[in-house]
Amino acid sequence: MQLRTEWVDRQLNGRTMRGYLARPRAAGTNLLPTVVVIQEIWGVDDHIQDMANRFAMAGYQALAPDLYSWGETPPALTQERIQGVKKFLDTMPPQGWGDPAIREEHIQRLPPEEGHRIRETLGALFGQRDTDSMIAQLKGWVDWADSQSSPIVTVGYCMGGMLSFLLATQEHRVRAAVCNYGRAPTEEQMASIEAPVYGFYGGTDHAITDAVPSVAETMKKLGKTFHYKIYPQAGHAFFNDTRVSYNVDAARHAWAETLHFFAQTLD
């Protein structure tokens, strides 16, 4: 299928933010439902653009907001710098990803200037996150889609999964939300959600997945709709086919379920 893809800009509070937009070319100017595809910490990289393209090929208008672009992308969060960090992390054992001491040990082996860049970008990626800013941007993009009278659903991955779930607690124009291996909002936040939520999780991703049954109980107690699927042999980021974490069986099933979930919701 031929797609029309472009980067689009929008003003929010006097500052520019940008997003990657994909649509089926043959759809012309026809109104399509919008899938807001919410990034991992790696930004709107090749994987997230590919996911947007896949939703476009399924007949949606897919928008992937670049949540690092509002105003101006910080030097530490450019795609070039982030790609360098990905390559660096692939040189160490998986447990090093979440262990600053192991990461620093490996950084010390790099040339000083390269080590400084890696350290700075790691700090920007894994340090304190401005979730409020990200939610504000996502609401701005919901405004943009709503101005076209386009029904809106959201899907996110890792950090984006968390944001997809959280956005649905604050933005009632979201008709359905998919959370891929992301943390859930608080019970107080979940109390205001109206959209159904579907979560997909890796069984070996204990830091996130172990909390899912409790999330399901809370959503049920609150009278909310929450479906979830845990893939026992999959880990974190099983959808990302550019990483060693990719699990084809889990990704194939979660993709089919996501499309079915959206189709049911928007029918």
Position 98 pLDDT exceeds 80 = no
- Phi, psi angles (nearest 5°) of residue 245: -75, -10
Catalytic hit among 46, 158, 241, 253: 158
Supply the pTM of this predicted model: 0.96
pLDDT in tens, 42-68: 999 999 999 999 999 999 999 999 999
DSSP string for residues in 26-70: GGTT---PEEEEE-BTTBS-HHHHHHHHHHHHTT-EEEEEETT-S
pLDDT > 70 fraction of the chain, expressed in percent and rounded: 100
Token readout for 87 is 């390559």
Token readout for 136 is 């504000």
pLDDT in tens, 130-157: 999 999 999 999 999 999 999 999 999 9
**Which CATH code is given to the segment(s) 3-70+131-266?**
3.40.50.1820
The full set of domain ranges for the chain reads: 3-70+131-266, 75-126
Q: Is 179 a catalytic residue?
A: no
What are the Cα distances from residue 66, in Å, to 24, 43, 44, 104?
A: 21, 6, 6, 28
Residue pair 37/152 in contact by the 8 Å Cβ criterion: no
Structure confidence at residue 39 as a pLDDT band (50, 70, 90): very high
Position 97 pLDDT exceeds 80 = no
Mean pLDDT of 104-131: 92
Mean pLDDT of the chain, nearest integer: 95
Catalytic hit among 50, 205, 249, 267: 205
Q: Is 158 a catalytic residue?
A: yes
